[in-house]
Amino acid sequence: MEYVALTVGFIVIMAGLWAIMTRKNIIRIIIGFSIFDTGLHIVMVALAYVKGRTAPILDNTVALDDAVNLIVDPVPQALVLTAIVIGLGVTALMLIFAMKLHREKKTLDIRSFKDLKW
C-alpha cells in the first residue's frame, strides 16, 4: 500500500506530460503543467512517507522527545511547500503569457505561434 501514493503520483505526472505534449490549447497545456507539478508534489510527499508514522506536526499526539521516530521525514514536506509556491508563480506567469498570446493572435492554438523558427 505504501507505494500507492507514489504510483498515483507518477500516473499524475504522466497525465500532466501527456496533456503538455498533446493538447493544442494553451490553457490546457498550462493545466497540464499544473497537473505535472501536482504529480511531482505527490511523489515528493509519498517518498517521505514512512509506514506507520504520522504527519510531522508537533502537537499532543506526538511526543516531542521521540518525534524523530514518530513522524515522517519533514524535509520533503517543507520542500513541497516551496515547490507549490514556485509552481504557483510559474503557472501565473504562464497564464500571463497565454493572455498576451491570445491578445496577439486571438487564438490559443499553440500551433499558430510559429513566427520564430529555423
Partner 1 sequence: MISPIHIITIGLGGAFALGFVSKKAKALTTSLMLVAIALMGTISGSWLFELLSGGTETMVYTAGFKPPYSINLLMGLNEALLTTMINFVGLLGGIYLFGNLKKAGSHAVMVFLVFIMGLNVIVMTRDAFNLFVFMEVVSIATAGLILLTETGKSVQAGFKYMMATGIVAGIFLLGVIFAYYFSGSLNIDDLAAANITAIKGGAVAVMMILVALVLELKPFPANGWALDVYEASDPGVAALISAASATAFYYVLFKVISIGNADWYNIIAIAGMITFVGSNLFGVKQDKARRLLGYSSVGQLGLLMAILGLKPYLGDKLEFIAITILVSHYLAKAGLFWLAGIIEQENIKDWAILRRKPIFLVLFGTFVFALIGFPPFPSFYGKWELILALSSAGQYYAIAFILIGSFLEGIYLFRWLGYAIKLDYTKLPEIKIEWNKVIPVAIFGVLIYVIGAYTGTQMSGLDSLCYGPLLMIPFLYAIDSLKVPIKNTIAILGVATFAARVLPGLYETDMLRFIFTFIFLVGGILTLIAGYAYKGKREGFYPVALLMFVGLALIIRASNTLEFFYGWEIMTAGSYFLIIRGKKSMPHGLSYMLFSIAGAYALLAGFGLSFAETPSIEISSLSAITSNITIIFSLLAIGFMTKTASLGLHIWLPGAHAEAESDVSPMVSAILLKAGVFGLMILMIAMGHSPEATNIGYVLGWLGAITALVGNLAAAFQEDAKRLLAYSSISQLGYILFALAMMSHLGWMTAMVYSINHFLYKAILFLTIGAVVMRVGTHYMYKMGGLIKNMPMAFVAVMIGIIALSGVPPLSGFAGKWLFYNAVLDVQWYFQGAIVFFSGIIAFLYLFKLIYSVFLGQLKDNLRHVKDISIWFAIPIYTLILGIMIFSAKPEWVLQPLGDMVSQWYPNSALSWDGGLATGPYGYWNGTGVMITVGIMFMALLGWLLLVSRKAVKVKQFNIVYSAEAPQRPETTHVSYNMFAGYNKALGWLVAPKITEFWDTMTDWVHSVAHYGRQLYSGNGQVYVTYVVAYILAIYFTMIF
Binding-site ranges for partner 1 (CB under 8 A): 13, 17, 20-21, 24, 26, 29, 33, 36-37, 40, 43-44, 47, 75-76, 79, 82-83, 86, 89-90, 93-94, 97-98, 100-101, 104-105, 110-111, 113-118
Pick between residue 26 and residue 71 the one whose CB is nearest to partner 1. Answer: 26
Residue 75: what are its φ and ψ, rounded to 5°? Answer: -60, -50
In 3D space, the residue among 9, 2, 20, 24 whose CA is nearest the CA of residue 90 turns out to be 20
User: Least Å distance between CB 21 and partner 1?
Assistant: 6
> For residues 5 and 45, is the Cβ–Cβ distance under 8 A?
yes
Pick between residue 24 and residue 54 the one whose CB is nearest to partner 1. Answer: 24
User: Least Å distance between CB 46 and partner 1?
Assistant: 10
Report the SS3 class of residue 53: coil
User: Least Å distance between CB 60 and partner 1?
Assistant: 26
Helix axes 26-48, 2-22, angle to 10 degrees: 160
